[in-house]
């Protein structure tokens, strides 16, 4: 093979090497652009109201879960008000703020004028929770001809650098990097844990400040180019070591041009510098050969097909936790397939939050949820004086407390095959006996009530050890006929139950105020439920007949003894 042909082959391999790095970096930005375009489309279609803070929080939290590279997702209203969600080591939190600087106002005005998504400049965030430099993607949203605001996705340079660190770990000996212009470093494996020099006046480190001596000397020598390619190669020597640095300029991700590059170590050979360059590129070819073969064969042909088959099986089993976004492909058909699936995956993750899997499985088996009359057992739970507790804590603390409480109750209910109908403030409504036939619906509800009493008692014991006040919970259980099925408006309905038995159960739960006003856990059952029980009746205490609020007919009431010491001692004996 001639020297010219060898040089051409090495140039093509180097070109593929940078293509691989550039494609991987692009794969971190493209999903963010897709997410913001989807959110803006939902606002334009009227399916998402940006003035509805709760709806906006749910939607943006779902979008944030699908793009872990995004640190903050926010919406800026025309009046400068900001609402968003942020994710970090301690989970996902919502926040509200306002525009504080003229630069931010200028960016919003420019986004409104452009009418399309664009990546903004790099700036430093001094907030202790972030404290690093970030870049924003800004996507304007309009409803009709009315400007609604701007969605912003914030990606930290730490996150981009950590992604480059992962590439470097999977390709030993190589060091990928991204420059912001020619004199600033946007991302580098050495910046994965932050950089001490970053500040509002010093948003990005210079090449000489990073601590990479080869990168610091990048522009000292003349590059070697390869005819019509934008690829440039330089040999950089520091002491007795040398590296080949390949670079290419790209656009579209920042106001300033970005330069994507990769460092490859070379051996000290007794050859002219031109031969040393070709030897370094040849060494890169060995690394790139494995990447190119695996990427072309598995990613472009085999991997997308097998990944799709695996994901579809998981969807069929309703195992949404096992689902993962599919990567893109150079083939148009496979790429469209992956994008369509990823859009569907986002919808499935949101749908899972609102639709119980039990109902979906029932639909898959029967094909419909026709409204029918059934005899079911219903449960209402309520946290006593929760409003007073909430007034003493922040919104985030209230949400965390409720989520933990609902996790405890929901697990006990679902373990017994119950269906959670709805969460009403600090209350839970659940039932047994629909949509599936459960002849032992009363026994299941009783076991769930006992489990809830035990879980709340344990949780209260933990809260006392932490110096927190215990939660006081009332539970009402009642059995009776209801109508179950899809109830709601055309195009939007929910599977639920309606009937007088629901109202009776709610009144029984409220009766706990007068039966045991000072106890932590109160479980009351109606005589109708007790009549259906086939087990666990011996410890029920009859309380006689009571006239429930708003009713004239008296109801037989029983109480399940659930004082905290007794519940905890039962748990210790069970262990």
Enter the DSSP assignment of 123.
E
What does the alpha-carbon distance between residue 374 and residue 438 come to, in Å, rounded to a whole number? Answer: 10
Average pLDDT on 381-397 reads 85
Mean pLDDT of all residues belonging to the chain: 80
For 139-150, how does the pLDDT look when each residue is reduced to its tens digit (9 = 90+)?
999 988 889 999
Predicted local distance difference test score (pLDDT) of residue 109: 86
**Which residues face 237 on adjacent strands?**
242
Nearest to 442 by CA among 501, 530, 358: 530
Q: Check whether 60 has a pLDDT greater than 70.
A: yes
* Number of alpha carbons in the 13 Å side-chain half-sphere of residue 221: 21
Average pLDDT on 239-262 reads 80
The number of angstroms, rounded, from the C-alpha of 82 to the middle of its chain's C-alpha atoms is 20
Domain ranges for the chain, please list them: 13-156, 160-269, 273-352, 365-560
The full DSSP string for 66-106 is H-TT-SEEEEE-TTSEEEEEEEETTEEEEEEEE--SHHHHH
Pairing, β 175-180 against β 91-98: unpaired
Predicted local distance difference test score (pLDDT) of residue 15: 59
* Number of alpha carbons in the 13 Å side-chain half-sphere of residue 466: 9
Predicted local distance difference test score (pLDDT) of residue 473: 94
Nearest to 136 by CA among 205, 52, 71, 61: 71
**R_g of the chain computed on alpha carbons:** 31
The full DSSP string for 470-525 is PPPEEEEEEEEEEEEEEEEETTEEEEEEESHHHHHHHHHHHHHHHHSTT-SEEEEE
Q: Check whether 312 has a pLDDT greater than 70.
A: no
Tell me the two tokens of residue 284. 């890169």
What does the alpha-carbon distance between residue 92 and residue 67 come to, in Å, rounded to a whole number? Answer: 13
Average pLDDT on 551-558 reads 90
Q: Check whether 501 has a pLDDT greater than 60.
A: yes
Is pLDDT larger for residue 456 or for residue 302?
Answer: 456
Instruction: Give the CATH class of 160-269.
Output: alpha beta
- Return the HEC string of 260-281: EEEEEEECCCCCCHHHHHHHHH
Tell me the two tokens of residue 53. 């803070």
**Considering only 36-45, 213-222, 286-295, 431-440, which range has the smallest mean pLDDT?**
286-295
CATH topology of 13-156 equal to that of 365-560? no
Predicted local distance difference test score (pLDDT) of residue 544: 93
In this structure, what are the phi and psi dihedrals at residue 356, rounded to the nearest 5 degrees?
-60, 140
Average pLDDT on 95-110 reads 84
Predicted local distance difference test score (pLDDT) of residue 66: 81
**Considering only 98-112, 173-187, 321-335, 518-532, which range has the smallest mean pLDDT?**
321-335
- Percent helix / strand / coil, the chain, rounded to 5: 45, 25, 25
Average pLDDT on 384-408 reads 87
Predicted local distance difference test score (pLDDT) of residue 316: 58
Q: Check whether 414 has a pLDDT greater than 60.
A: yes
Q: Are 53 and 270 in contact (CB under 8 A)?
A: no
Q: Check whether 375 has a pLDDT greater than 90.
A: yes
Average pLDDT on 449-458 reads 94
Q: Name the superfamily (CATH) of residues 365-560.
A: Nucleotide cyclase, GGDEF domain (3.30.70.1230)
In this structure, what are the phi and psi dihedrals at residue 36, rounded to the nearest 5 degrees?
-70, -35
Tokens 């639709």 label which residue? Answer: 355
Exposure string of 183-204, with b = 16+ CB inside 10 Å and e = fewer, is ebbbbbbbbbeebeebeeeebb
**pLDDT classification of 380: cutoffs 50, 70, 90:** very high
Predicted local distance difference test score (pLDDT) of residue 333: 64
For 290-308, how does the pLDDT look when each residue is reduced to its tens digit (9 = 90+)?
555 444 445 455 566 666 6
Q: Three-class SS of residue 288?
A: helix
For 18-46, how does the pLDDT look when each residue is reduced to its tens digit (9 = 90+)?
677 777 777 777 888 888 889 999 999 88
The phi-psi region of residue 340 (left if phi > 0; otherwise alpha if psi is between -120 and 50; otherwise beta) is alpha
Average pLDDT on 489-495 reads 72
**Widest Cα–Cα separation across the chain:** 104
Average pLDDT on 153-161 reads 87
Enter the DSSP assignment of 173.
T
**pLDDT classification of 570: cutoffs 50, 70, 90:** very low
Q: Check whether 523 has a pLDDT greater than 90.
A: yes
Cα dihedral 333/339/344/345 (nearest 10): 120
The fold of 13-156 is: Beta-Lactamase (3.30.450)
What does the alpha-carbon distance between residue 502 and residue 53 come to, in Å, rounded to a whole number? Answer: 31
Please state, for a pLDDT cut of 70, what percent of the chain lies above it: 75
What does the alpha-carbon distance between residue 321 and residue 307 come to, in Å, rounded to a whole number? Answer: 15
Q: Are 383 and 426 in contact (CB under 8 A)?
A: yes
Q: Check whether 527 has a pLDDT greater than 80.
A: yes
Q: Are 137 and 39 in contact (CB under 8 A)?
A: no
**Which residues face 419 on adjacent strands?**
431
Is pLDDT larger for residue 278 or for residue 447?
Answer: 447
| Residues 206-214: contacts with CB under 8 Å, at least 24 apart | 207/179, 207/183, 210/185, 212/175, 212/177, 212/188, 212/263, 213/238, 214/238, 214/243, 214/245, 214/263
Q: Check whether 177 has a pLDDT greater than 80.
A: yes
Predicted local distance difference test score (pLDDT) of residue 3: 42
What does the alpha-carbon distance between residue 270 and residue 484 come to, in Å, rounded to a whole number? Answer: 85
Average pLDDT on 455-468 reads 92
Q: Check whether 568 has a pLDDT greater than 50.
A: no
The full DSSP string for 348-391 is HHHHHHHS-HHHHHHHHHHS----EEEEEEEEEEEETTHHHHHH
**Considering only 49-53, 153-157, 368-372, 469-473, which range has the smallest mean pLDDT?**
368-372
Q: Are 159 and 71 in contact (CB under 8 A)?
A: yes
Q: Are 473 and 383 in contact (CB under 8 A)?
A: yes
Is pLDDT larger for residue 559 or for residue 10?
Answer: 559
Tell me the two tokens of residue 503. 């109202």
Please state, for a pLDDT cut of 90, what percent of the chain lies above it: 24
Predicted local distance difference test score (pLDDT) of residue 289: 56
Q: Which residues, 6+ apart, have CB-to-CB distance to 232 below 8 Å?
A: 223, 224, 225, 246, 247, 248
What does the alpha-carbon distance between residue 133 and residue 186 come to, in Å, rounded to a whole number? Answer: 9
Tell me the two tokens of residue 16. 């593929």
For 318-343, how does the pLDDT look when each residue is reduced to its tens digit (9 = 90+)?
555 556 676 666 666 666 777 776 67
Q: Can you state the angle between helices 441-465 and 395-415, rounded to 10 degrees? A: 140
**Which residues face 181 on adjacent strands?**
none
């Amino acid at each position: 093979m001639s020297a010219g042909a060898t040089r051409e082959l090495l140039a093509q391999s180097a070109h593929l090497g940078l293509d691989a790095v550039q494609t991987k970096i692009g794969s971190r930005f493209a999903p963010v652009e897709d997410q913001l375009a989807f959110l803006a489309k939902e606002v334009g279609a009227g399916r998402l109201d940006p003035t509805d803070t709760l709806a906006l929080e749910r939607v943006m939290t779902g979008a944030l879960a699908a793009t872990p590279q995004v640190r903050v997702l926010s919406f800026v209203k025309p009046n400068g008000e900001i609402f968003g969600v942020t994710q970090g080591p301690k989970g996902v939190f919502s926040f509200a703020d306002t525009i504080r600087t003229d630069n931010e106002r200028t960016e919003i005005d420019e986004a409104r004028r452009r009418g399309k998504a664009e990546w903004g400049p790099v700036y430093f965030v001094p907030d202790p929770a972030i404290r690093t430099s970030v870049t924003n993607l800004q996507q304007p949203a309009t409803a009709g001809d009315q400007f609604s605001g701007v969605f912003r996705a914030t990606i930290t340079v730490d996150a981009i650098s950590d992604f480059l660190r992962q590439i470097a770990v999977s390709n030993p000996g190589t060091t990928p990097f991204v420059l912001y212009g020619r004199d600033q470093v946007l991302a580098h494996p050495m910046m994965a844990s932050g950089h001490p020099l970053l500040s509002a006046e010093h948003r990005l480190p210079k090449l000489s400040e990073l601590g990479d001596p080869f990168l610091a000397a990048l522009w000292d020598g003349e590059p070697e180019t390869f005819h019509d390619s934008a690829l440039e190669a330089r040999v950089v020597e520091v002491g007795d070591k040398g590296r080949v640095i390949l670079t290419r300029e790209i656009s579209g991700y920042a106001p300033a041009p970005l330069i994507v590059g990769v460092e490859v170590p070379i051996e000290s050979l007794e050859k002219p510098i031109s031969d040393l360059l070709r030897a370094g590129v040849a060494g890169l070819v060995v690394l790139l050969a494995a990447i190119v073969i695996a990427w072309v064969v598995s990613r472009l042909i085999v991997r997308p097909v097998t990944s799709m088959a695996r994901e579809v099986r998981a969807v069929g089993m309703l195992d949404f936790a096992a689902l993962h976004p599919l990567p893109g492909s150079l083939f148009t058909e496979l790429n469209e397939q992956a994008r369509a699936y990823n859009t569907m995956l986002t919808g499935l993750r949101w749908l899972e939050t609102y639709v119980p899997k039990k109902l979906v499985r029932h639909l898959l088996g029967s094909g419909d949820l026709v409204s029918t009359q059934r005899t079911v057992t219903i449960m209402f739970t309520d946290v006593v004086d929760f409003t007073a507790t909430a007034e003493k804590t922040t919104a985030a603390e209230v949400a965390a407390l409720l989520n933990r409480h609902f996790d405890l109750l929901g697990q006990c209910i679902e373990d017994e095959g119950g269906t959670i109908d709805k969460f009403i403030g600090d209350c839970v409504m659940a039932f047994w006996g629909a949509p599936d036939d459960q002849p032992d619906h009363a026994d299941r509800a009783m076991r769930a009530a006992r489990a809830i009493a035990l879980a709340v008692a344990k949780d209260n014991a933990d809260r006392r050890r932490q110096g927190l006040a215990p939660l006081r919970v009332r539970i009402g259980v009642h059995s009776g006929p209801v109508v179950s099925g899809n109830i709601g408006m055309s195009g939007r309905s929910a599977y639920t139950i309606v009937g007088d038995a629901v109202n009776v159960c709610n009144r029984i739960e409220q009766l706990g105020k007068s039966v045991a006003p000072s106890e932590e856990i109160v479980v009351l059952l109606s005589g109708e439920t007790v009549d259906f029980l086939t087990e666990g009746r011996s410890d029920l205490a009859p309380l006689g007949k009571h006239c429930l609020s708003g009713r004239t007919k008296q109801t037989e009431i029983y109480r399940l003894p659930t004082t905290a010491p007794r519940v905890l001692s039962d748990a210790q004996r069970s262990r």
